[in-house]
Amino acid sequence: MFGRSIPLFRLAGFQVGIDWSWLILAVLITWTLSSGVFPYYYPDLTPGVYWSMGVIAALGLFASIVLHELAHSLVARRYHVPIRGITLFIFGGVAQMDREPDRPGAEFAIAIAGPIGSFLVGVACWLLLQGAVSAGAGVPVVGVLAYLASINVVLAVFNLVPAFPLDGGRILRALLWYWKGSLRWATRVASWIGGAFGIGLVALGVWQALTGDFVGGMWLALIGLFVYAAAQASYQQVVIREGLRGVPVRRIMTADPITVPPGISVAQLIDDYVYRYPLVGRRRFAAMICIRPQVHFRQRSD
């Protein structure tokens, strides 16, 4: 899903990083809060105050997303599911699992941990909000805490939508998997629902864009496209994994590959050999020739 992420810090033994696309989200969230949300709910403050609130609230949101994914990761560790790390990207965050859970109970526990974590963070922010109001804190503090309390509840509820690969879709898949005993069937049903939900978001986003909320509509449509693509890709991964389960490597490998000497010309290679055979010199792998529309050499030094 991601390229090389930028590492930030380690939390509870997990590497937390950001994908470059996260920068787009960071700017968009900060700008939306500073120029739209906070001025609407808390008028008559200075632009500097609004931007300070926007930056702090955006940082709080990203911390909330990290805690959401940390909840997934801690439960995954409990069930011995390896987690490569937590990555923030343009559509939120993800705990990158090296493999899927091997039983429905583990899938259910890992999936539901994130929404529970977000709900608890929301409750903690609400308690801090009540304390701030009682202590007579200023509008900026109250506004930021109110936003974080509400957005964490929204995050928990949205992720409980039974549309794969959202947490709710994974919970649904776990229940279907437990009911039928088939991971492939459960994934197909959950992915179909997730794809339909993604298409629905795209349609809603286009409607919003055409009726005046262009930025919000396009953002919703992009989220829908991501959900749809992720649902389809997740099902294909399960199909491939299930199809290859128990198949020994010797059945699908080339036991005696055709090799070519390193001294021949490119013309000879093209005329006398076929694509992508390894280049061997002195009985060692030297390079791989790949012809896409052109010939590319990747030389490896001994």
69 is catalytic: yes
Please choose, from the candidates 155, 153, 16, the residue with its C-alpha nearest in 3D space to the C-alpha of residue 88. Answer: 16
**Cα atoms found within 13 Å of the Cα of residue 34, Cβ hemisphere only:** 19
CA distance 33 to 15: 28
Query: What would the DSSP string read from start to end of 183-216?
Result: HHHHHHHHHHHHHHHHHHHHHHHHHHHHTT-HHH
Which of 196, 183, 171 is closest to 235 using CA atoms?
Answer: 183
Q: Which amino acid is at 3?
A: G
How far does Cα 55 stand from its chain's mean position? 23
Q: Which of 69, 100, 107, 242 is catalytic?
A: 69
| Active site positions, annotated | 69
